[in-house]
Amino acid sequence: MINTNKFLVSNTSFDPETLNLLSDAFEDAWLKIQTSGNRLARPGYANVMREVMAKHIFHLAQCGERNEIALSNSAVNFFTANYKA
């Protein structure tokens, strides 16, 4: 599970149910990146790339998105569009 504290804007808070949803969306998106064979999922890049993906998901949640599938798909699309392997 990711450490969510360093990604949150100070005036934003999420209830426990939403945090679980965000965590699940993140884990699903990261698994898709790993299984795609993307070289940026390798250990040397993984921490930074996971942070980028988490920030994207938190940004969407701050804008009101609460659909786990939409969050996950958006994170994968953002990742693959902006970070070529």
pLDDT at 5 over 80: no
User: Could you tell me what percent of the chain has a pLDDT over 70?
Assistant: 87
Q: Over the stretch 37-65, which tens digit does the pLDDT of each residue have? A: 889 899 999 999 999 999 999 999 999 99
The domain locations on the chain are 15-82
For the chain, how many residues are written?
Answer: 85
Nearest to 58 by CA among 27, 28, 14, 1: 14
Q: Are 79 and 26 in contact (CB under 8 A)?
A: no
Who has greater pLDDT, 37 or 8? Answer: 37
User: Which residue, chain included where needed, has tokens 């993140």?
Assistant: 26
Residue 3 has a pLDDT of 53
Q: How far apart are the first and last CA of the chain?
A: 24
